[in-house]
């Protein structure tokens, strides 16, 4: 994974013209200030101007074709004194992604830990457990994303065996981050009666992490 997309935030002020609810066919910008900017550019011969580039941050920019996955040659970003930069013309008349990455930090590869774990749901409460996970609290989902839980899935066997999988930049930090969230304390308290053999622990403290023995990318 090249960029920490879970940290991206919308920044319409980075591009001119830019997307709005009234005109959704214009370019859309998001990213992390000082690290990376990603701009979706609908078909246009004249690419939008990139604005508000930070003083002292050196970017390299490249075009990415979302249809083919091809990346086109990078160029140095040379803004004027106001932080404004005019990108080169897009390679073809099509949808494009313009990526501006900090030369020193924007291209670092982020390695993700793959985590698989087991737990046991009480067989008599399987139906209710499934229903509860059809409507997980939005603030709980937000907390998971913010603390590094990504591509998170739960699989349930008919006897109650629960298999969980998620990816994270740092497993220990992901656990510690959720342990500090009040919403997680409430969720774990509500979920505890669904599980067997917790022995006084919270559900997220009682699962068994499995060892990974094979991986094919």
- Please check whether residue 214 lies inside any domain of the structure: no
The reported pLDDT for the residue numbered 141 is 93
- Please check whether residue 174 lies inside any domain of the structure: yes
Based on the domain organization, do 53 and 136 belong to the same domain?
A: no
The reported pLDDT for the residue numbered 3 is 79
Based on the domain organization, do 56 and 119 belong to the same domain?
A: no
The reported pLDDT for the residue numbered 106 is 46
- Please check whether residue 131 lies inside any domain of the structure: yes
Write down the pTM of the prediction.
Answer: 0.56
Based on the domain organization, do 134 and 200 belong to the same domain?
A: yes
b/e map 82-118, b = 16+ CB within 10 Å:
eeebebeebeeeeebebbbbbeeebeeeeebeebbbe
Q: Which residues span the domain enclosing 13?
A: 5-102
Give the catalytic positions in this structure.
Answer: 133
Q: How far apart are CA 102 and CA 99, in angstroms?
A: 10
- Please check whether residue 107 lies inside any domain of the structure: no
What 3-state DSSP class applies to 29?
A: strand
Based on the domain organization, do 36 and 82 belong to the same domain?
A: yes
Sheet arrangement for strand 28-32: 9-10, 28-32, 36-41, 96-102, 59-64, 75-76
Based on the domain organization, do 119 and 79 belong to the same domain?
A: no
Residue 184 CA from chain centroid, whole number = 19
- Please check whether residue 216 lies inside any domain of the structure: no
Based on the domain organization, do 137 and 200 belong to the same domain?
A: yes
> Where residue 146 sits, what CATH number does that domain have?
3.30.70.100
Which of 102, 132, 161 is the C-terminal boundary of a domain?
A: 102
What 3-state DSSP class applies to 117?
A: strand
Distances from the Cα of 57 to the Cα of 6, 30, 54, 79, 217, angstroms: 22, 17, 6, 10, 34
Based on the domain organization, do 67 and 133 belong to the same domain?
A: no
The reported pLDDT for the residue numbered 108 is 53
> Where residue 57 sits, what CATH number does that domain have?
2.60.40
Q: Structural domain tally of the chain?
A: 2
The reported pLDDT for the residue numbered 110 is 59
Q: How far apart are CA 6 and CA 1, in angstroms?
A: 11
Q: What is the mean pLDDT of each run of 10 residues along the chain (217 residues)?
A: 79 88 85 91 88 89 91 90 92 92 67 92 96 96 89 96 92 91 95 91 91 91
Based on the domain organization, do 92 and 117 belong to the same domain?
A: no
């Amino acid at each position: 994974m090249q960029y920490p997309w879970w940290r991206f935030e919308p920044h319409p002020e980075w591009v001119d013209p830019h997307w709005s609810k009234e005109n959704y066919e214009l370019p859309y910008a998001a990213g992390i200030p000082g690290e990376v900017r990603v701009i979706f550019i609908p078909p246009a011969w004249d690419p939008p101007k990139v604005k508000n580039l930070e003083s002292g941050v050196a970017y390299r920019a490249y075009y990415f074709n979302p249809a083919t996955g091809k990346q086109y040659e990078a160029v140095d970003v040379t803004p004027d004194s106001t932080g404004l930069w005019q990108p080169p013309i897009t390679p073809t008349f099509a949808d494009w992604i313009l990526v501006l990455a900090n030369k020193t930090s924007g291209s670092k590869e982020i390695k993700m830990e793959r985590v698989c774990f087991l737990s046991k749901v009480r067989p008599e409460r399987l139906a209710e457990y499934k229903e509860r996970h059809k409507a997980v609290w939005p603030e709980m989902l937000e907390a998971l994303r913010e603390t590094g839980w990504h591509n998170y899935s739960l699989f349930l066997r008919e006897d109650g065996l629960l298999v969980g999988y998620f990816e994270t930049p740092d497993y220990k930090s992901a656990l510690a981050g959720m342990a500090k969230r009040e919403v997680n304390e409430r969720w774990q308290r509500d979920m505890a009666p669904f599980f067997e053999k917790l022995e006084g622990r919270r559900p997220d403290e009682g699962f068994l992490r499995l060892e990974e023995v094979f991986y094919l990318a």
